[in-house]
Structure 1
Amino acid sequence: MNEQSNKLRDLIHCGIFAAITAVLAQLEIPLPLVPISGQTLAVGLAATILGSRKGALAMLCYVLLGTVGLPVFAGATGGVHILFGPTGGYIFAFILTAFITGYYLEKTSFSLTQAMIANTGAMLIALLIGTIWLKYAAALPWAGAIAAGVTPFIIPGLIKAFLASWIGINVRKRLISANIMQDHVAKEKVPA
């Protein structure tokens, strides 16, 4: 397959994961400031399946879709005001955490154990960034920001990290074996 076809296929994969994130964002449990949604599951899936660059690009596409006003964020919302509201830090963190998760897996291995480590670490980073943002955006004291932005998300976050790892590793293997996706990492590690 030529280089142009590979780039097109990569862009299609990124678009698919931006769309999956938009759909999973609508699965939510409303809470006062920050809902529990399927967005972080989608971030973990994108990074685990696509790797660092394509996973981050998929999340960038998702954020841009929401920024221009498409209702892709939790609660079918969109617009710049969402990014500067209480949940903005979590949304911006999706890009970084997708990159970090994929990068960690590329440097270690795409295995369930490593994916669980990567997705759990990314969840903690997203909670840290999101909570700091929440504290200032909602003018909360630290205790209030932690109570609203961290505590309700630990158990669901661990469950989503496991699901993203397990589903992601299995789907990645199947996509590679079906030649729908290339394993660039394996090619880079083969000695010349």
Structure 2
Amino acid sequence: MLTENSKKLRTLLNCSIFAAITAILAQVEIPLPLIPISGQTLAVGIAATILGSRHGAIAMVVYATIGAIGLPVFAGFSGGPQVLVGPSGGYIFGFIAAAYLTGLVLEKTKFTLPMALVANIVGMIVTLIFGTIQLKIVMDLSWNAALAAGVYPFIAVGLVKAFLASWIGITVRNRLLQAKLIADTKEEIA
């Protein structure tokens, strides 16, 4: 039987692991003129699907924080506060909201592949909204230009990543629950 301190430690470790996974997948990128396509959003979806709203969001806060202090965890091995206030910073802030909302949708419905796909698409939309707003402001773009640079190139690949995050997330979550390596977020809410 796990003590309360053991459960807290396991939760912190899980959040840290997913922050590290996000940092690793951030380096898988396809360069574009303003904002690259990267594996970060795939990691956000997987984290939220496995950990749920609170812990998925905490994992993304950890990720953003370690990047903000200068560790090269963002896309292209970048880091520092200048990234968070730059053209791509809104996407990183969006990861936190996306992880929370993705997990919340699943907690309020069911942890099934179809619902995970819906939840991950919601998360993708949230990330794109945050990112495009900051991109528009920082680069002083028109809305059409901001959408052309910050949304349109990411829709098709975002849908593929939403499916992958859902499939991987549900599969891994079920196995981790069976092994009692994560807590059931539905039980925590009740």
Same fold (TM over 0.5): yes
What is the RMSD of the two structures over their aligned residues, measured on CA atoms?
Answer: 1.0
> TM-score when scaled to structure 2?
0.97
- Establish whether residue 79 from structure 1 lines up as the match of residue 80 from structure 2: yes
TM-score (norm 1): 0.96
Structure 2 partner of 1:98? 99
Return the letter of the residue paired with 1:116: L
1:67 counterpart residue number: 68
What percentage of residue pairs aligned between the two structures are identical?
Answer: 60
Shift of 1:184: 3.6
The alignment partner of 2:22 has SS state of: helix
Runs in 1 of length 4+ with deviation above 2 angstroms? 186-189
Per the alignment, residue 43 of structure 2 pairs with 42
Residues 15-35 of structure 1: per-residue CA shift (max 9 Å, x gap)? 000000000000000001100
1:9 maps to what in 2?
A: 10
What is the rounded CA distance, in whole Å, between the counterparts of 2:85 and 2:44 in structure 1? 20
Residue ranges of structure 2 left out of the alignment (5+ in a row)? none
Q: What is the aligned partner in structure 2 of residue 178 from structure 1?
A: 179
* Contact 2:51–2:185 (8 Å) recurs in 1: no
Partners of 1:188 and 1:151 lie apart in 2 by 36
Q: Matched residue of 1:75: which SS? A: helix
How far off is 1:186 after superposition? Answer: 4.2
- Tell me, what secondary structure is at the counterpart of 2:76? coil
Flag structure 1 segments of 5+ consecutive residues without an equivalent: none
In structure 2, the CA distance between the partners of 1:143 and 1:184, relative to structure 1 (3 Å rule), is closer
Q: How many aligned residue pairs are there? A: 189
